[in-house]
Amino acid sequence: MRQSDSYIRIDNVSRRYGAVKALDSVTLDIAKEEFIAILGPSGSGKSTLLRLIAGLDRPTEGHISFEGKDVTGLPPHKRGIGMVFQEFLLFPHRTVRENLAFPLRMRREPQTVIDERLEWVAGVLSLTALLDRYPSQLSGGQQQRVALGRGLIARPTLLLLDEPLANLDRELRQEMEVEIRRYQKQLGIPFIYVTHNQEEALSMSDRIAVIHNGRLEALDVRQAIYDSPPTPFVARFVGKSTKFQGTVTPDGKTVRLARYDHEFPLPPQEKFQPGDALDVFVKNERFDLSPKSEGGSGIVCTVSDIVLRGPFLEYILETDRGDTVIVVKPKRNDPLPIQERVLLSWAPSDCHIFKAGS
């Protein structure tokens, strides 16, 4: 992305707690109208990054600017942000109406503006009937919508969302994913969405920043993060995949697996030397599966179980070495039977190859 597109700029930001580097030289530019997910396992530093953007914490090094203005030293209430928390953190002593109006009151907006915005936000989030209730009288999903409304009502420069769906049940979560993305497109402000859930990151965001051990591991549009992960960590963390170990054959054109009698051509764009030890990642839905009786090449497995997941089937395979591999296929009426001997293989372009241990 070009520098001129940058609306939120995170410039070489680090945060140390004593000797621990929670965040290490992260640089990130976020465009206006962009939905960006910050994805990482717990303890990766993603929440630290969010707290730094919000102003709830200060970086040890580096700068953060909004619309070209340096906000690094500003406290949260002077940054013009909205924030939605995982635990909702609604004010329990205030009604829904008062919770929603809180950011506007803090900005000393006149009552007419407050009423107008309340009507707008309650309408958009279907909260009109709940305005006089207290948070303890709301369901989890309703509390979530109030938290979202409170984050949006003051028309913030950006909205920070800290795992906002983690406390909701699965069905509601999927519904809210669609809703949140819709609001973001409507409002045209950046949403920065922190999550450890790669499905949420993939379903909602325009771009994904993967954080690992305090470092920015990858930053790209979601499709690219999914289809061509730049590092082994991203390959393992985004999407569900299986790892195999292998070696480049002496002619440099083929990868031979270490534990299995199977080899496949090394894709021409991959630059490895003969004898290199490799880690090969294959997404569970990219495997090819054929009955062993039909012949061909592949890893010999036995179908040990089949799990039905809506429109998909999950084949639980056991290799002759005792490893378990999960293969996802569209549902069909004549699935391979349990106990069937099968051959597991993949197209060379469908796997991600890295030097072992990298």
Per CB under 8 A, does 91 bind other proteins?
yes
Q: Tokens for 47?
A: 């929440």
Rule CB under 8 A: is residue 3 a binding residue for other proteins?
no
Bridge partners (DSSP) of residue 344 are 289, 299
CA–CA separation, 338 and 306 (whole Å): 7
Q: Beta strands of 47-200 (E only): which ranges?
A: 61-66, 69-70, 81-84, 158-162, 191-195
User: Phi, psi (5° rounding) for residue 6?
Assistant: -75, 125
Question: Could you give the C-alpha distances from 80 to 97, 126, 156, in angstroms and in order?
Answer: 21, 25, 5
248 binds other proteins (CB under 8 A): no
The answer to whether residue 89 forms part of the interface with other proteins (CB under 8 A) is: yes
Cβ atoms of 86 and 162 within 8 Å: the answer is yes
Show the binding pattern over residues 272-311: x = contacts other proteins (CB under 8 A), - = does not. Answer: ----------------------------------------
Please identify, using beta-carbon distances, which residue of 54 and 130 lies nearer to other proteins.
54
> Is 136 among the residues that bind other proteins (CB under 8 A)?
yes
- Which residue's CB is nearer to other proteins, number 152 or number 165? 152
Residues 28-67 close enough to bind other proteins by CB under 8 A: 54-56
Q: Is residue 81 a contact residue for other proteins (CB under 8 A)?
A: yes
> Can you tell me which of 58, 69, 107, 182 binds other proteins, judged by CB under 8 A?
107
DSSP label at residue 304 = E
Among 103, 190, 229, 232, binds other proteins (CB under 8 A): 103
Segment lying near other proteins (by CB under 8 A), choices 25-33, 85-93, 169-177, 335-343: 85-93
Burial 12-46 (b: 16+ CB within 10 A, else e): ebbbeeeeebbbbebebbbbeebbbbbbbeeebbb
Binding mask 307-336 for other proteins (x = CB under 8 A): ------------------------------
Interface size with other proteins, residues (CB under 8 A): 26
Please give the single-letter amino acid code of residue 215.
Answer: R
Helix axes 111-124, 140-152, angle to 10 degrees: 140
CB 123 to other proteins: min, Å: 21
Which of 154, 209, 289, 342 forms a contact with other proteins (CB under 8 A)? Answer: 154
| Separation CA 112–CA 121 (nearest Å) | 14
Q: Does 113 bind other proteins (CB under 8 A)?
A: no
CB 275 within 8 A of CB 248: yes
183 binds other proteins (CB under 8 A): no
Tell whether residue 155 is a contact of other proteins (CB under 8 A). Answer: no
- Residues forming contacts to other proteins in the complex (CB under 8 A) are 54-56, 75-77, 80-83, 85, 87, 89, 91-93, 102-103, 106-107, 134-136, 150, 154, 160
